Structure 1
Amino acid sequence: MHRPSIDKEDVNQALETLKNGGLILYPTDTIWGIGCDATNPAAVEKIFALKERDKSKSMLILLHNENQLASYVREIPDVAYELIEVYDRPITIVYSGAKNLAENAVAEDGSIGIRIVSHPFCQQLLQRFKKPIISTSANISGAPSALTFDQIDELIKEKADYIVRFGQNENTPGEPSIIIKLDPSGKFEFLRK
């Protein structure tokens, strides 16, 4: 299968938007997402406002490799690395003890959902940004998730500071990730399979 090449300018513009506290609309290894700098509380606040999302609902963050986990989670049970390794589908793991993130990105109980992405655009963007990026479905809270770019509500498109060009013509519907809640003791439960 031919993968479209990544336009450097597209990555640069997404990068500048993130650095300036803006919101990007971007493709991920699951579905299209709204993203921002996960360490910038004002940017995270903009996502809550755009999605009309209840502030008690936490966000999830994307990282480009598992070596970064220790920068954002206090204790990482060894089983986390095994879970990341074993699944060929995207997997979001909810960890206790989030750190070094915008306070409003973290759940009230101090947990944070993290996914290590394999999507080529996301990986390049994350490697260059050197910080985690928020990823939340590109929809108004309560509305169905947009599985392709064409399904994204016009209001979301209008309010995004930058819309990534890569992947807009991809018509294969995305699929949400598996979600696992992981206890510091290593016990885990599936929240979504």
Structure 2
Amino acid sequence: MNAQQEIKKAVETLKQGGVILYPTDTVWGIGCDATNPDAVAKIYKLKKRIESKALICLVADDRMLKRYVKKIPEAAHSIFDITEEPITIIYDDAQNLAENLIAEDKTIAIRIPDDEFCFQLCRKLNGAVVSTSANISGAPTPTSFKEISQDILKGVDYVVNLHHDKKMAKPSSIIKLSSNGVVKVIRK
């Protein structure tokens, strides 16, 4: 299948409440529709991760970001402009997402990926997609498709058939950008 067919199949799976395994701009990710609490719960169960440990979402662009964050701090736009590496920003006042995806302090971690497949996936779904590394919680993050455990491969509803031979980068940097202007680096 080509990229467009893979996007179509992945979006069909997401719309049906399924979980996908897909290549992101950083590492192989496990994803679902970020507004579907049952699908989010499946990811927590698959990763054997406690629900209080929040997950990251991907959105296509600034316009889509505005749907899920009440007020985007000005500093976010500056960060997008100056960074060349993938960066995930934790925002205050998350909205319009599955409740079990939003952290207890009402924050959400969101990245706008510089990756055509991820961009198209969000666009065709017309919404945010969960993106968490394709490993059991506590296990090393796989840097290639062949390093993904059988438990993960068997636990998803669809495996995107692209970039299986590609060596992936490291996970994104994470910055917490509070609405009061405070910036805190969480992961470099």
Classify the TM-score, shorter chain: over 0.9
Shift of 1:69: 1.7
The structure 1 residue matched to 2:165, chosen from 148, 164, 169, is 169
Residue-by-residue CA offset, 1:54-110 (whole Å, 9 max, x unaligned): 111011100011222211011111111110111000000000100000000011110
Q: Does 1:116 align with 2:112?
A: yes
Shift of 1:173: 3.3
Alpha carbons 2:28, 2:168 under 8 Å: kept: no
RMSD across aligned positions (CA): 1.1
Counterpart position of 1:185: 180
Residue deviations 1:97-137, cap 9 Å, x none?
00000000011110000000111111111111101000001
Cα distance change on mapping 1:107 and 1:87 into 2, 3 Å:
same
Q: Which runs of 4+ in 1 moved over 4 A?
A: none
**2: CA distance between counterparts of 1:19 and 1:173?**
27
Q: 1:111 is matched by which residue type in structure 2?
A: T
Tell me what 2:42 maps to: 46
Which residue in the other structure is 2:85 paired with?
A: 89
Which residue of structure 1 aligns with residue 24 of structure 2? 28
Select which of 22, 26, 37 maps to 2:33. 37
Give the unaligned 5+ runs of structure 2. none
CA distance change for structure 1 residues 76 and 151 in 2, over 3 Å: closer, same or farther?
same
SS at match of 1:165: coil
Residue aligned with 2:43, SS: helix
Q: What fraction of aligned residue pairs are identical, expressed as a percent?
A: 46
Partner residue in 1 for 2:52: 56
In structure 1, C-alpha distance between the alignment counterparts of 2:128 and 2:2, rounded to whole Å: 20
- What is the alpha-carbon distance in structure 2 between the residues aligned to residue 173 and residue 133 of structure 1? 19
CA distance in 2, matches of 1:112, 1:77: 14
CA contact (8 A) 2:64 2:127 kept: no
Unaligned runs of 5+ in 1: none
Q: Cα 1:83–1:6, aligned 2, differ >3 Å: closer, same or farther?
A: farther
Q: Could you tell me the TM-score, scaled by structure 2's length?
A: 0.97
Letter in structure 2 aligned against 1:189: K
TM-score (norm 1): 0.94
Distance 2:71 2:121 in 1: 26
